[in-house]
Chains A and B, each alone.
Chain A
Amino acid sequence: MSENRKKILQMLADGKINVDEAQRLLALVNSETEGENRTGSVGQKTKSAPRYMHVIVEPKPGVSRENGKHDHHGKVNVRVPFGLIRAGIKLATLIPSDAAEHVDKAFKEKGFSFNIRRLKEEDLEELVTALQDSEINVDTEYELIRINAE
């Protein structure tokens, strides 16, 4: 569900607008979305859904992370198909409850309050939509981290 639609439904739930006004706004948002999909902007093709999530960690040239015995120059380049993540989410729902509790406990020890059995495909679609037009870049002291969808 797009951000605009969510805002409209939230305003309706909060009572700021009535049902008729919400319907008109939703129709407007839908027509704008259809218009963008049909025409696009000048010189650009309509964007297709991203197929991979790409995570790149590159050490900064000339900078080394010293750790007593030796320095680390780790480089990570991982490209994961979104179809694999979706299939993995479906597979995760089959994890027996005993094993799922162990998984959740391990996540909690690392500081993530996580319930693996509540993972849904809709959550992934929201992430895909958010990543589609954006790129996450993290510049730390020792490395550059980039996460994007392609």
Chain B
Amino acid sequence: MKCPPMIVSLKFRCDKEDEDGRGFGLWLPLFIIAPVILLILLALCPVALPFILISLIITWNAGWLRYLWYGIPAFFRTMHELTGLKIDVEDRKNKIYIAVY
């Protein structure tokens, strides 16, 4: 079974023509951030639920409910499959590095 993404490593470097290159690196511990976000969302549920129900009723006829119903699990499935993604694009002045472990 594949593990969900635990850590995201980000590195950016952007050179402007009149400035020296500035870059930064960042490690995001998703195994800490994701549960915290989930807890916050669960805490907001009682407050947001009436608005969600009203928007569902309004968008029922437009068919958006179907996209929402299938889209949320599909979104989480896509996020789960991010493990192992590595993007490293670099030229002489700029660099973008994203790795998901």
Contact = CB atoms under 8 A, between A and B. Distances in A.
B74 A84 contact: no
A142 interface: no
B91 interface: yes
A84 B85 CA distance: 8
Contact of B84 (A51, A76, A91): A51
Interface string A118-138: 000000000000000000000
B88 to A, nearest CB: 4
A73 interface: yes
Contact of A76 (B71, B81, B89): B89
Given A73-B92, A74-B91, A94 B70 contact: yes
Nearest to B68: A94
A91 B71 CA distance: 7
Interface string A12-25: 00000000000000
A86 B81 contact: yes
B92 A81 contact: no
Given A72-B91, A75-B91, A87 B83 contact: no
A79 B81 contact: no
A78 interface: yes
